[in-house]
Amino acid sequence: MRATDKEKRRQYRTIYRLLYENPRITLKDISKIIGVFFGKNRLNEAFEQGRISIPQIRKKSSKNFSEYVYFANCEDPLELFLQYCEDQRVSYHAVMQGSPNLWVISKEEIVIDGDVLVGGLRSDYHISFAPNHSWGTSIKIMRGRVSNFDPEDYQPKGTIETHWDETIDWDEKDEELFIYFKYNMRKPLTPFIKESDITAEKIKKWLKRLPECCTIITRYYPETRAAYDPYIFIFETDYEDFIIDLFSELPTSCLFFKVSDKLILHAYVDREFLRKVGSDTNDIPQLHIPLLIRDLSKKGVLRRADWATVAYHYRKLI
């Protein structure tokens, strides 16, 4: 008997939770927990349809893991994009529509040909666990939180951490393992062991200490990734933990980090919540997130907010 769409959605949601908690959970355990014989099929569906991202890892912000991030407005972002494709210092870069229009991640400090809005060392990443509710519910919750926010009651939690004065014990074999698992934490071990001189015991120990060195990132897209637009938000605020908790109410996973004194949010957003257009003034209240940001600014929670859509990007396995 084939699973209904409702049953599949429940199973995708459960798989997301399991991967979020343990990115290398076995197929046997997944099958047992979601109640299907071939859990592998449902897992592959979730990945192929873009409902769940394959778990990835990113290094934390220690002294020997320094990584620089830049957001800039450039006259010719396409030309710079092509140049950075060949630059081995740059691990990731993207052209965006809006302000800023260029995003660059580099292994060392570089000079950007343009007006740099934000630039400097990156903090640790923080990934939200996407709540199981609709976009309408998320906006209702967020509006309520903004309306009721009182600066006198705000208590910083230190959600985003930095470790720039710490050095993590990390050798060439650690780096080799990081490169292997960076974009796919579920890669099989046997082929890697055969092709390298790294033992199974070393890998086991490496995986055990991984949370101390890296952030594990698993993202959820209830209606598939293609249903949303990828946005970068840059916030200036004295209430960063409130902003993190607020936007973590969105039903897609949100990635947060800091550069300099700015809070960065990378989010996949329902198109109607940011760029609803039309000739009817009834459409205006549907610009939920811009109106929410306006309210945050009026209340003094945000000093400034910039955002742009990620148009295209390029990444290197370095």
Any idea what the CATH number is for the domain that residue 93 is in?
3.30.70
Claim to verify: residue 144 and residue 292 sit in the same structural domain: yes
Three-state DSSP class for 42?
A: helix
| Domain boundary residue, one of 192, 217, 242 | 217
Claim to verify: residue 152 and residue 232 sit in the same structural domain: yes
Q: Is residue 86 part of a domain?
A: yes
- 285 has pLDDT over 60: no
Domain extent for 146: 126-161+220-310
Residue with structure tokens 């940001």? 293
Q: What is the mean pLDDT of residues 50-73?
A: 97
Q: What is the mean pLDDT of residues 70-86?
A: 97
Claim to verify: residue 139 and residue 14 sit in the same structural domain: no
pLDDT digits (tens, 9 = 90+) for 201-211: 999 999 999 99
Claim to verify: residue 77 and residue 193 sit in the same structural domain: no
Claim to verify: residue 169 and residue 157 sit in the same structural domain: no
| Domain boundary residue, one of 70, 105, 121 | 121
* One-letter amino acid of 101: N
d(C-alpha 152, C-alpha 183), whole Å: 42
Q: What is the mean pLDDT of residues 265-273?
A: 89
In this structure, what are the phi and psi dihedrals at residue 263, rounded to the nearest 5 degrees? -95, 125
Mean of per-residue pLDDT scores for the chain: 93
Claim to verify: residue 13 and residue 76 sit in the same structural domain: no
Claim to verify: residue 148 and residue 257 sit in the same structural domain: yes
Angle at 283 between CA 277 and CA 284, to 5 degrees: 90
Q: Which pLDDT belongs to residue 276? A: 52
CB contact set of 86 (below 8 Å; sequence gap of 6+): none
Claim to verify: residue 237 and residue 279 sit in the same structural domain: yes
Q: How many domains does the chain have?
A: 4
Q: Is residue 318 part of a domain?
A: no
Q: Specify the pTM.
A: 0.94
Strands 262-270 and 255-259: antiparallel
CB contact set of 224 (below 8 Å; sequence gap of 6+): 49, 50, 51
Claim to verify: residue 16 and residue 110 sit in the same structural domain: no
Claim to verify: residue 245 and residue 294 sit in the same structural domain: yes
Claim to verify: residue 234 and residue 290 sit in the same structural domain: yes
Q: Which pLDDT belongs to residue 271? A: 80
pLDDT digits (tens, 9 = 90+) for 172-201: 999 999 999 999 999 999 999 999 989 999
Q: Which pLDDT belongs to residue 275? A: 57
Q: Is residue 315 part of a domain?
A: no
Q: Is residue 21 part of a domain?
A: yes
Claim to verify: residue 184 and residue 258 sit in the same structural domain: no
Q: Which pLDDT belongs to residue 280? A: 43
Q: Which pLDDT belongs to residue 279? A: 43
